[in-house]
Amino acid sequence: MFPRSPRLHFLAHDRARPAVAAPRDTVRLNETPEGVDLGLRPAGPTVRALALTIDGGIRLLVYLALTPLAAFAGLGAGMILITSFLLEWCYPVVFEVWTGATPGKRTLGLMVVHDDGTPVGLPASLIRNLLRVIDFLPLFYGVGLVCTLADRDFRRLGDLAAGTLVIHAEDRMARPAALAAHRDTPPRPPPAGLSLTAAQAILAFDERAARLSAARRIELAEILLARFPPAADGQTWPSGPAAVALVAGYASWLTKGR
């Protein structure tokens, strides 16, 4: 259907430099062979630092729980050494391969994936966690921090080597209750030729109207109606609360149909 390779597409976009720079977003688009754009949202250094701190805290708790072992001189020291080895090297790998994220990352809604969006595998996870040693230099992830700040997708050296990304896994924006579940607005057909984005925006407006001030609701509804050409019978578009009601009617129509 769309016989374009993703690379070609992006190259073409780069060459035709637009007059106005494309707006920046925190989404990294991956075009699949089917021509579907998958949006990944790479996570920045702040939230990752917080996740790292939580993981460090969890490991610290395990170490504290192990301190009584020090009473058994030889055996205890050996057990502590083995556990610390396993915790430092296997803790991230096991959790990343098993559940996609360490407990700290999971708490903050982060996830580790390959840079094409597939779940992270054992080799990639091993590489990115082995290079943690380099990222840790010279002091508490100094190299990793600089690398993360400089990279487009907030990748540290381990991520660059392994081809992985740390992304925001889920959209935790509060979603209002199901659309039109308790709607008493009569559906009103929107004007013909409504684009997909406009339809989505009308639905989103209906969802978020309760969070907006009344004046802003009216302003937005009037902005939308002003963009539509006047009706065939010469009737002008309503203004004020009537405009909001009309847009709510469009949303009802888009949800339920006629």
Partner 1 sequence: MELDRAAAVLRPRRSWEGVDLGFTLARLWFPTLWLLWWLGILVLALPALALVGGQADWWLVLVWWFKPLYEAPLVFWSSRALFGEPVALRDVGVIFRSAWTRRLLPYLLWRRLSVSRSFNLPIVLLEGLHGTAVRRRRRVLIEGDGTPAWLTLICYHFEAILWGGLLLGLYFLIPAGLPDIDLAAAVTDEQSWPYWLSSACYLLAASVIAPFYICGGFALYIGRRTELEAWDLELAFRQAGSAGSTPRTGTPGRQGRRTGPGRPSTMTLVSTLLIALTVTWPGGGLQAATPATPWPDAAGARAIIAEVLADETFGRTRELTVWVPITGPDEAPTETPPWLRWLGELALLLGPLLKWLLISCAVAAVALLARRILRDWRPETRRRRQRSPVVGAASPATDFHQTPTDLAAAVRARLAAGDARGALALLYRGSIAHLSRCAVAIPEGATEGEVLRLAAYHLNASELAPLRHLTRDWEALAYARRAPDPDQITAHLAAWLRWTDTAAPTPDGADHGA
- When the beta carbons of 138 and 257 are compared against partner 1, the nearer one is 138
DSSP for 36-83 reads PEEEE-B--HHHHHHHHHHHHHHHHHHHHHHGGGGGSHHHHHHHHHHH
- When the beta carbons of 82 and 204 are compared against partner 1, the nearer one is 204
In the complex, least distance from residue 15 CB atom to partner 1, rounded to whole angstroms: 11
- DSSP character at residue 238: P
114 neighbors 97 (Cβ within 8 angstroms): no
- When the beta carbons of 93 and 246 are compared against partner 1, the nearer one is 246
In the complex, least distance from residue 29 CB atom to partner 1, rounded to whole angstroms: 6
Q: Minimal CA–CA distance to 147: which of 45, 254, 8, 249?
A: 45
- When the beta carbons of 41 and 59 are compared against partner 1, the nearer one is 41
The Cα–Cα gap between 144 and 154 comes to: 10
In the complex, least distance from residue 76 CB atom to partner 1, rounded to whole angstroms: 25
- When the beta carbons of 92 and 144 are compared against partner 1, the nearer one is 144
237 neighbors 228 (Cβ within 8 angstroms): yes
In the complex, least distance from residue 123 CB atom to partner 1, rounded to whole angstroms: 27
Helix/strand/coil for 141: coil
In the complex, least distance from residue 164 CB atom to partner 1, rounded to whole angstroms: 17
